[in-house]
């Protein structure tokens, strides 16, 4: 299977990346794709492949977002090289960035202080992303949350999701008070940021990038350490822009996220 991925790369990628010397794989694959690291005579590249219809749509969204953010911002994200659709699979070619996912980095460090430092840097990095200004065409008046609720209803009908009709109804009825929208990552878990030298440096997995509700990013960012006071405080020490109430956290993490 592993052999197959890099042997079946789109031909047009070869002219960009040069000769492949060897390939390797991330310690953990994501849920929507297969990623292969390509070590070539010209450098290191990542090919991300998705096969299911929903995930192919997301890969296209990721390609578009990466390309636009490369041009319009100086955010620390991979460089977009190419995108290609074939009959069964879609492929995204991008730069291979240094570092390991924050989840891995947290497991590798030995002390609580080191974990605290990592999480604080995560908060700081997310603050920078939320403060990144966007070209005017990104900033629209439509509520991101309303769009997500429509997508949630579509996903519930068409795909296998963890959410159910009752949960969707309660999300529609109990929308949190609106706050100003910002640039958001859209899937800001500890799997989707890379750590270099004990600090979160790079955002990856960009299909959810949007002008949207920053509370969604915060909820997904803190979901894996929500019950660890010292880590939670470290996150907010770095982030500083807002703090989620319990209701807001539940709305976005246990609620909306269940449909994606
Ligand atoms: N540009 C990149 N540079 C370095 N590692 C990457 C890059 N893109 C993906 N990875 C690795 O591959 C894993 C899966 O990629 P990701 O884009 O998160 O896929 P999924 O959408 O399936 O979660 C990441 O957790 C990371 O380890
Ligand atoms: Mg991921």
CATH number at residue 58: 3.30.200.20
Residues 76 and 105 in one domain: no
pLDDT at 154 over 90: yes
Confirm or reject: Cβ of 129 under 6 Å from ligand 1.
Answer: no
pLDDT at 7 over 90: no
Instruction: Please list all protein residues whose beta carbon sits less than 5 angstroms from ligand 2, which is an ion.
Output: 30, 191-192, 205
Classify burial at 157, counting beta carbons within 10 Å of its beta carbon; exposed 0-12, middle 13-18, buried 19 or more: exposed
pLDDT value, residue 18: 92
Residue where a domain stops, chosen among 37, 64, 95: 95
Over residues 146-165, mean pLDDT: 96
Residues 9 and 76 in one domain: yes
Residue where a domain stops, chosen among 48, 76, 95: 95
Residues 85 and 109 in one domain: no
pLDDT value, residue 241: 98
Residues 216 and 139 in one domain: yes
Q: Is the torsion defined by CA of 214, 133, 103, 92 positive or negative? A: positive
Residues 207 and 146 in one domain: yes
The count of domains in the chain is: 2
Q: Is the torsion defined by CA of 93, 97, 102, 105 positive or negative? A: positive
Indicate the pLDDT class of residue 2, thresholds 50, 70 and 90: very low
Q: Whose CA is nearest to atom 8 of ligand 1?
A: 204
pLDDT in tens, 34-89: 999 999 999 999 999 999 999 999 999 999 999 999 999 999 999 999 999 998 99
Q: Which domain holds residue 22?
A: 2-95
Give which of 228, 217, 206, 243 is closest to 106, Cα–Cα. 228
pLDDT value, residue 1: 43
pLDDT at 230 over 60: yes
| Percent of the chain whose pLDDT exceeds 90 | 91
Q: To test ligand 1's pocket by mutation, which of 2, 30, 76, 99 has the most ligand atoms within 8 angstroms of CB?
A: 30
């Amino acid at each position: 299977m592993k052999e197959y991925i890099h042997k079946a790369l789109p031909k047009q990628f070869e002219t960009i990346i040069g000769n492949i010397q060897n390939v390797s794989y991330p310690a953990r694959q994501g849920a929507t794709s297969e990623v292969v690291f390509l070590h070539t005579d010209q450098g290191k590249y990542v090919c991300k492949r998705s096969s299911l219809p929903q995930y192919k749509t997301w890969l296209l969204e990721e390609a578009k977002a990466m390309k636009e953010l490369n041009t319009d911002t100086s955010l620390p994200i991979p460089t977009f090289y190419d995108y290609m659709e074939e009959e069964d699979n879609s492929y995204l070619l991008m730069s291979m960035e240094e570092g390991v996912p924050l989840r891995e980095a947290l497991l590798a460090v030995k002390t609580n202080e080191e974990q605290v430092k990592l999480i604080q840097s995560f908060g700081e990095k997310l603050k920078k992303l939320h403060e990144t200004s966007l070209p005017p065409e990104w900033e629209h008046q439509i509520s991101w949350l309303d769009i997500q609720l429509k997508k949630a209803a579509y996903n519930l009908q068409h795909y296998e999701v963890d959410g159910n009709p009752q949960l969707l109804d309660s999300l529609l009825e109990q929308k949190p008070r609106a706050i100003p929208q910002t640039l958001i990552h859209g899937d800001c878990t500890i799997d989707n940021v890379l750590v270099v030298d004990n600090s979160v440096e790079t955002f990856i997995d960009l299909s959810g990038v949007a002008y949207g509700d920053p509370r969604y990013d915060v909820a997904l960012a803190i979901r894996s350490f929500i019950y660890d006071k010292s880590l939670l405080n470290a996150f907010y020490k770095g982030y500083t822009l807002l703090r989620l109430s319990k209701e807001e956290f539940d709305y976005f993490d246990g609620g909306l996220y269940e449909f994606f």
